[in-house]
Amino acid sequence: MDPWADRILDSHCHLYELGRFKYPWPTPDLTAIFKDHRVEDLWAAMEPSPAREVVFVQCLNDSPEEAKWVMSLAKQHPRIKGIVAGLDPSHQQFESQLTALKSEVPLLVGVRHILDLEPRPNYLELEEVAAGVRALHRHDMTFDLLLRPPLLEGATVLASRVPEARMVVDHLAKPYIKAGQLDPWRQHIAALARFPNVYCKLSSMVTEADCEKWKPEDLRPYVEHMIAVFGCDRLMYGSDWPVCRLARADYDTVFSTLRGLLSHLPEQQLEKIFCNNARNFYKV
């Protein structure tokens, strides 16, 4: 076993109970994940892997109640180390919302806004969003960027406006792995990576590949590009459980696939990607 294995922190996983909140996704046609995924299910899924600790990432936009629910779980399950809540930084009362939520959710480490549900196409370029991210920085919190390739240029505008704030790109910005398409994603994410306050999660690649017949080599060009542009100091492991199950990938498959793709790296760099970078970024 890797000498750092007992310190692994999964930077990106989800929990949901379909009857608890009104979730816009997953939809019933996604039979592999359209069911409750409770904290006990997560621990059981993780068991074959060496990973043990996690950061929860929102499933719902504008839902302080979801974060409070996960906080109630974390009181019983200390393996939940941080909570990324669903709040909208562009909201006029965002900072007061943030302050109020932090008082009830001590494990609150940052926020995310699902842009697939956002009607404003230029959302990331709005000054209101930059103002909200500055507020996050004042509270020593982070912003998760849930992007697709067409939004990378907007994310670069945001990064240029708030160079002091810690931000992280989820899922490599969802490149078109199934099509084997690297450009223009490759250039645009390299431009975003030039901002040292921006990190990236090596997560959810299997679901951007061919879910029926993906193989590790399909992911390699994308992982190698991320190492080239972000370096090993700003990359972090994330399982994206249970969404990974859409690609017929259990938790250990996701972990071992990334571990294999990074096997050429020295132990010190692996420890950063699997352990230290997420802990330092989220300050957990």
Provide CB contacts within 8 A for 143, sequence distance 6+.
Answer: 89, 110, 111, 112, 133, 136, 165, 166, 167, 168
CA distances to 7, 34, 44, 204, 208 from 47, rounded to whole Å, are 14, 22, 5, 19, 25
Q: Do strands 198-202 and 142-146 pair parallel, antiparallel, or not at all (unpaired)?
A: unpaired
What DSSP line would sit under 181-231, residue for residue?
A: --TTHHHHHHHHHTSTTEEEEE--HHHHS-TTT--HHHHHHHHHHHHHHH-
Domain 5-282 sits in which CATH superfamily? Metal-dependent hydrolases (3.20.20.140)
How does DSSP classify residue 145?
A: E
pLDDT at 117 (0 to 100): 93
254 neighbors 79 (Cβ within 8 angstroms)? no
pLDDT at 1 (0 to 100): 85
pLDDT at 29 (0 to 100): 97
pTM over 0.95: yes
Q: What CA–CA distance (Å, rounded) separates 245 from 162? A: 35
Per-residue pLDDT of the chain (284 residues; tens, 9 = 90+): 899 999 999 999 999 999 999 999 999 999 999 999 999 999 999 999 999 999 999 999 999 999 999 999 999 999 999 999 999 999 999 999 999 999 999 999 999 999 999 999 999 999 999 999 999 999 999 999 999 999 999 999 999 999 999 999 999 999 999 999 999 999 999 999 999 999 999 999 999 999 999 999 999 999 999 999 999 999 999 999 999 999 999 999 999 999 999 999 999 999 999 999 999 999 99
Q: What CA–CA distance (Å, rounded) separates 137 from 213? A: 42
Q: What CA–CA distance (Å, rounded) separates 131 from 262? A: 37
39 neighbors 77 (Cβ within 8 angstroms)? yes
Alpha helical stretches, state H, the chain: 39-46, 64-74, 94-104, 127-138, 152-161, 185-193, 205-208, 216-230, 251-261, 267-271, 277-282
Provide CB contacts within 8 A for 33, sequence distance 6+.
Answer: 26, 242, 243, 245, 246
CA distances to 42, 54, 113, 170 from 27, rounded to whole Å, are 20, 25, 19, 21
Q: What CA–CA distance (Å, rounded) separates 21 from 239? A: 23
Could you tell me the sign of the dihedral formed by the alpha carbons of 174, 178, 183, 186, in that order? positive
> Longest Cα pair distance anywhere in the chain, in angstroms?
49
As a residue count, the chain comes to 284
